[in-house]
């Protein structure tokens, strides 16, 4: 084991001589964990709405006030003309048009029902569907309120009513960053550890030290292990620092045991560092290694469940996503941090990532050509 010990000494000296080491280890996680959760906010607010009110009654005014006071909508214009409202949508100054017809209040009181029109700009499908759902819910609540206030009780048909009471587990307030920050931490550790491992062997090739190592009696597995262990420690440090930022900045404290997180983290780093080392064995320059890692990082982020749930993907895409260790770690992070899951609950993900890591590291060792 003496050759391995000397290799580790060399690697740590080489890492600490790097002037950008502190920045990658501490500054980058701080900036990303502050900025990315804001950018990945799935809570849609400030939806621009144009209200076309042909009635100008007290009922239409109360409906407009209720919509604008909900906190989800921002008034783009309050007008009498449909053409003006459609012009706002054409210039992307309005997302939704609410049209209240003439004699809205009188017809509602006399006939017991009335129609209103909602026109939605559906270029952004997510914003359109969520905005329509918000507006429909507000109008339904207002409809129930005016039935109690304005319509006489004898006009109601006495029918059984089912009341639904919802209860949100694990994240009662539906706070988006409690769901997003653990996943962003995984992406952060993946990027720092994976890129560092990918650059390592390539850097040895570029500066010429790889030739000196090749003529030594060091075995290939010792060389790879010497490259892997320093970055495994660095990944643990980055993850620990990210947990600290999540606690101080967002008040996120893992419900589950930290030992569970760190056990899975070590297995995950074993896999992702093996992938980085594999990339470095195929690359001749740091530019090639960087291009390959950035390409795969984009694929990991898009297919790992970071932004979209895996359940919404087709079966072939889900199969591919489960071949990536990142998707398993994001799932485990949310299970442990939010639900409080234990080692037994994540046993299948732990086994899957370990097998993926075993394949990647074996591939990297076999692909590294050591010339005597």
Residue 154: pLDDT above 70? no
Identify the band that residue 313 occupies on the pLDDT scale cut at 50, 70 and 90: confident
Q: What pLDDT does 9 receive?
A: 74
Backbone phi, psi, residue 20, to 5°: -85, 5
Residue 156: pLDDT above 60? no
Q: What pLDDT does 364 receive?
A: 84
Q: What pLDDT does 346 receive?
A: 93
Q: Average model confidence (pLDDT) for the chain?
A: 83
Tokens of 113: 């029902």
Nearest to 235 by CA among 192, 276, 171: 192
Residue 371: pLDDT above 50? no
Q: What pLDDT does 268 receive?
A: 95
Whole-angstrom Cα distance, residue 336 to residue 246?
14
Q: Is the Cβ–Cβ distance between 83 and 129 less than 8 Å?
A: no
Distances (CA, A) of 269 to 15, 17, 49, 229, 233: 18, 23, 48, 10, 9
Coil, strand or helix at 195 = helix
- As a whole number, mean pLDDT of residues 282-300 equals 86
Q: By mean pLDDT, which of 85-99, 132-146, 201-215, 257-271 is the weakest?
A: 201-215
Residue 159: pLDDT above 70? no
Q: What pLDDT does 257 receive?
A: 92
pTM: predicted TM-score of the whole model, two decimal places: 0.77
CA neighbours closer than 13 Å in the CB half-sphere of residue 229: 15
Please report the beta strands in the chain, taking only residues with DSSP state E, as ranges in sequence order: 47-53, 73-79, 96-100, 117-120
For strands 96-100 and 117-120, give the pairing. Answer: antiparallel
Identify the band that residue 151 occupies on the pLDDT scale cut at 50, 70 and 90: low
How does pLDDT run across 45-100, given as a tens digit for each residue?
A: 788 999 998 888 888 888 899 998 888 899 998 988 888 888 888 888 889 999 99
Coil, strand or helix at 298 = helix
Backbone phi, psi, residue 74, to 5°: -125, 130
Coil, strand or helix at 371 = coil
CA 247 to chain CA mean position, Å: 18
For strands 73-79 and 96-100, give the pairing. Answer: unpaired
Q: What pLDDT does 305 receive?
A: 82
CA 278 to chain CA mean position, Å: 27
- Residue of 335 and 155 predicted with greater confidence: 335
Nearest to 188 by CA among 261, 264, 239: 239
- As a whole number, mean pLDDT of residues 21-36 equals 77
- As a whole number, mean pLDDT of residues 340-365 equals 92
How does pLDDT run across 229-267, given as a tens digit for each residue?
A: 888 888 898 899 999 998 988 888 899 899 999 999 999
- Residue of 218 and 367 predicted with greater confidence: 367
Per the DSSP assignment, residues forming a β-bridge with 49 are 75, 96
Coil, strand or helix at 372 = coil
Q: Which domains does the chain have, with CATH numbers?
A: 2-40+182-367 (no CATH), 47-155 (3.40.1710.10)
């Amino acid at each position: 084991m003496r050759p391995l010990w000397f290799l580790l000494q060399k690697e740590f000296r080489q890492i600490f001589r790097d002037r950008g080491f502190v920045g990658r280890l501490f500054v980058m996680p701080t900036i990303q964990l502050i900025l990315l959760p804001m950018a990945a906010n799935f809570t849609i607010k400030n939806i621009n709405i144009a209200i076309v009110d042909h009635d100008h009654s007290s009922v239409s005014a109360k409906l407009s006030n209720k919509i604008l006071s909900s906190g989800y909508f921002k008034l783009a214009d309050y007008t009498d003309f449909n053409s003006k409202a459609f012009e706002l949508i054409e210039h992307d100054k309005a997302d939704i048009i609410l049209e209240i017809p003439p004699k809205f209040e009188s017809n509602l009181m006399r006939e017991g029902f009335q129609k209103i029109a909602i026109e939605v700009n559906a270029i952004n499908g997510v914003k359109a569907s969520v905005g329509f759902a918000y507006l429909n819910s507000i109008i339904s609540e207002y409809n129930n309120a005016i039935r109690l206030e304005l319509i006489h009780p004898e006009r109601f048909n006495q029918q059984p009513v089912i009341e639904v009471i919802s209860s949100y587990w694990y994240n009662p307030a539906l706070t988006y960053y409690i769901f997003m920050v653990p996943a962003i931490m995984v992406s952060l550790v993946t990027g720092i550890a994976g890129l560092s491992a990918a650059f390592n062997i390539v850097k040895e090739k570029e500066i010429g030290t790889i030739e000196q190592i090749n003529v030594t009696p060091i075995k290939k597995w010792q060389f790879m292990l010497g490259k892997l262990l320093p970055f495994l420690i660095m990944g643990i440090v980055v993850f620990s620092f990210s947990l600290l930022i999540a606690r101080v900045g967002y008040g996120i404290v893992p419900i589950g045991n930290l030992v569970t997180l760190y056990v899975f983290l070590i297995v995950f780093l074993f896999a992702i560092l093996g992938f980085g080392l594999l990339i470095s064995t195929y690359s001749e320059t740091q530019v090639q290694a960087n291009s390959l890692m950035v390409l795969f990082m984009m694929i990991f982020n898009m297919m790992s469940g970071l932004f979209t749930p895996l359940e919404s993907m087709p079966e072939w895409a889900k199969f591919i996503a489960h071949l990536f260790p990142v998707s398993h770690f994001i799932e485990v992070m949310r299970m442990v941090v939010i639900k409080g899951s234990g080692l037994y609950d994540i046993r299948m993900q732990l086994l899957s990532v370990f097998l993926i890591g075993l394949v990647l590291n074996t591939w990297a060792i076999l692909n590294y050509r050591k010339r005597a």
